[in-house]
Amino acid sequence: MQFRLKQRSVLPGFNLALGYTLLYMGLIVLIPLSAAFIKTTDLSWTEFWAIVTTPRVLASYQLTFGASFIAAMINTSAGLIIAWVLVRYSFPGKRLVDAMVDLPFALPTAVAGIALTALYAGNGWIGGVLALIGIKIAFTPLGVIVALVFISMPFVIRTVQPVLEDLEAEVEEAAACLGATRWQTFRWIIFPALRPALLTGFTLAFARCIGEYGSVIFIAGNLPMVSEITPLLIVTKLEQYDYRGATAIAVVMLVISFMLLLLINLLQWWSRRRHAA
């Protein structure tokens, strides 16, 4: 019902607001991004395809997307638990923990990379302990995952938290009255309500991970075919004055990022419509 009301626009300022939005977005985002696309038209399709499918580049996609996926998965499960704990329970220092969750957004990625490397290297606080049981984190693909988990941590927590806060207690109580166990209530009542938020958080985290550069290069080891991420390959090509190669790979990443984001926004739009209907 509300949905139908929204379609009638008695409010003013649509043209102004949309016009300004498009103008500003064009200047800051679209024109610069189109520069990358136009630069690749210097290349023929076969040249472009050859650049973006060399074994080294393919190996880097595998690492970048694989590690990003794992990191986003880790953050989705951990983020759900953390959001749950922050909303539902109380424990000493909860406020502080809640405030600090955003920190990975604010800390420069290079600082995060350096600090994580110091911590997870064989002679670091955590790396030292893990070395005793034969696990190496820094300078392996595992290090990439650690860095990505850090930088994308807030997304899932921050998308799940508000939804969890808004969940009506009555529904859970009703379920309980009808004899549902706590697990059943969670599985069939709470989790479905959280699913869109979890999905959004996951995809935002995933998208952020794919592009990450600053923190990863410190901890990854950067071995070709093993621990070299795609953004590093772009930088590598730039340092060798290969602008076309760099933009070709950049365009591949841009297109994938755009598709991912479009997918979640469509999912959200779809779920909102279903919700409203």
Span 42-101, contacts to other proteins by CB under 8 A:
54-56, 78, 81-82, 84-86, 88-89, 91, 95, 97-101
Q: Is 18 in the site for other proteins (CB under 8 A)?
A: yes
Q: Is 185 in the site for other proteins (CB under 8 A)?
A: yes
Smallest CA-to-CA distance from 147 within 83, 248, 76, 218 is with: 218
**DSSP code at position 29:** I
Q: Is 135 in the site for other proteins (CB under 8 A)?
A: no
Q: Which of residues 16 and 132 has its CB atom nearest to other proteins in the complex?
A: 16
Burial of 228 (0-12, 13-18, 19+ CB in 10 A): buried
Sign of CA dihedral 91, 95, 100, 105: positive
- CA 80/CA 242 separation, integer angstroms: 43
**Which of 63, 67, 72, 153 is in the footprint of other proteins by CB under 8 A?**
153
Window 232 to 261, contacts with other proteins (CB under 8 A): 232, 234-236, 238-243, 245-247, 250, 253-254, 257-258, 260-261
**Which of 146, 156, 194, 248 is in the footprint of other proteins by CB under 8 A?**
146
Q: Is 188 in the site for other proteins (CB under 8 A)?
A: no
- CA 124/CA 130 separation, integer angstroms: 10
Nearest-approach distance from CB 139 to other proteins, in angstroms:
5
Ranges of beta strands (E only) in 68-201 are none
